[in-house]
Chains A and B, each alone.
Chain A
Amino acid sequence: MNAFLYLERELLGAIRVRSAVLLSFAFLSLFLFLASFASLFLLPPASTLQPSGIASNEIRAYVSPRLTPAAVNSAFVRLQERADVLSVQFSLPEQVTSDRTGGRFTLLARSSTAVAGLTAALKAMEGIASVEVGPVGGVGRIALSEGGRIGLLCGLVACALLALVLAREGFRALLYAFRHEIRLMRQSGVSEGRILAAVEVAGLLVGLLAGALVVVGLVLYSMAASGAEPVLDVTRLTGVVVASFLLGVLMGGLLGLLGAAHLASSRFSPIP
């Protein structure tokens, strides 16, 4: 183990109850900040939903009034058996509020990539009068209203500020516990850069862990949203995952710098 890794291990080993609690809450705030950031980019705005309220990956197929109940039943079974269909429902004509009076199939595609094929298949089916498609991509049926988006933005800013304040106090407590070691290092000729880098790396670790946790959370959520297959647009998801992780690292670096700023305090002076 080289001198820097040794120093890093010793610094992290100086974490006591107070600094552990503060840094854990800083980590949690940072995680919430990154999760809010990812949600802002992944959840579609409510305005992108069609006026009829069709959700993401949802397809509505209006049935001709001339279709017999047996034919409707047969079509229902055929749709239900398709691999690209997650769920299918039939609404009776009197349950459908539009002027089309033949009833309606409401389907949820298994993934965003399956929507186009399923729509084409529905249009080709006999007795289907028209087809409406919801927005492709997005997380299931969750959408963000304008108010929700503003709330999320405020939460994002609050979490970022909270993470900075908590990390600053956490590092203050940690460096206080490590003050004799810092004094000894300064007396012995260890460079300021090395001491500062050790604190900076500790901050980066907080950011890296928060970023990694958000990445894992996003992947698990995309899997859970539609069973075994991801429901999110892969390109968009990848972009948000990478951006969240990099933002986590950047914020971690900022937390580390805030911590390292304490080193200028006279309590770490080599001469008491």
Chain B
Amino acid sequence: MIQVSELHFSTEDGIKVLEDIHLHVDRGEYVVLLGPASAGKTLLLGLLGALVPPQRGQILVHGRNVARLGRGRTLELRRRIGFLPQGFVPLPRTVFDNLLFKLRVLGNDRDDAEEKALLALETVGLIRERATYAEDLPPVERVRLGLALALCDSPLLLLLDEPFDGLDPDEQESVGSLLAKIHDRRSTLVVATRGPIPRSAPPDRVFSLIDGRVALS
């Protein structure tokens, strides 16, 4: 599913953020990128999600070289990847309308969008909160909504940036259970976190990202 080799990335000031990254994630695998703040986890997820153009090295996602994709192909790839950003902020509308917005702007007609939205809300356990104003949701349910947004359009790959951030241990375990449930459906998951990893969601592999380098833990 993901094959990264010799990936380097520097800031405009020349500071090396990622150095010689090699990474391989199989289809249906659940992988955690563990690292301290500012280790480059968000950047690496951005590169994998075709949200940040790579500078040096090769990134193959679903057999496509991200660096060589044209504009149209890059957008097509992004549509096949579900992304949960760090500190996810929901849209100022109801839970259901959050999902409807994403699905409608991606070209789904109303009926399809509603069907997919309901399915995603059911998966993350937010079906009863569908009419709730998203900004009124507690943090753990916001994460669930972010996950619903990431998976609502049947992505090939889920990239989740700090999904346990700002949650108490019980809530982290609850989100972990949800990730395990999503993983059981043969979804490929890459989760970036500072840790700890909830016991309810043991990953297939854990990579440590320290000082811009990746190592298998």
Contact = CB atoms under 8 A, between A and B. Distances in A.
Nearest to A1: B110
A184 B149 contact: yes
B52 interface: yes
Interface stretch (B4-12, B14-22, B85-93, B173-181): B85-93
Given A188-B78, A271-B46, A271-B52, A3 B106 contact: yes
A187 B50 CA distance: 9
A185 B51 CA distance: 11
Question: Majority SS of interface residues in chain A?
Answer: helix
B104 interface: yes
A191 interface: yes
Contacts of A84: none
Contact of B86 (A180, A190, A272): A272
A187 B83 contact: yes
A128 B110 CA distance: 79
Contact of A187 (B51, B76, B89): B51
Given A3-B107, A180-B89, A189 B75 contact: yes
Contacts of B110: 1
Interface size class of A (residues with CB under 8 A): 20 to 34
Kindly name the residue among A10, A188, A191 whose own CB sees the greatest number of chain B CB atoms within 10 A: A188
Contact of B76 (A189, A271, A272): A189
Interface of B is mostly: helix
B79 interface: yes
A270 interface: yes
Contacts of A187: 49, 51, 78, 83, 85
A181 interface: yes
25 contacts: A1-B110, A3-B105, A6-B104, A7-B104, A10-B105, A180-B89, A180-B90, A180-B91, A184-B91, A184-B149, A185-B105, A186-B51, A187-B51, A188-B78, A188-B79, A189-B79, A190-B75, A191-B72, A270-B51, A271-B51, A271-B52, A271-B85, A272-B42, A272-B86, A272-B87
Given A7-B105, A184-B91, A188-B153, 5 more contacts: A184-B101, A189-B78, A189-B79, A189-B106, A270-B83
The 8 closest A-B CB pairs, nearest first, are A189-B78, A189-B79, A189-B75, A271-B46, A3-B107, A6-B104, A270-B51, A187-B83
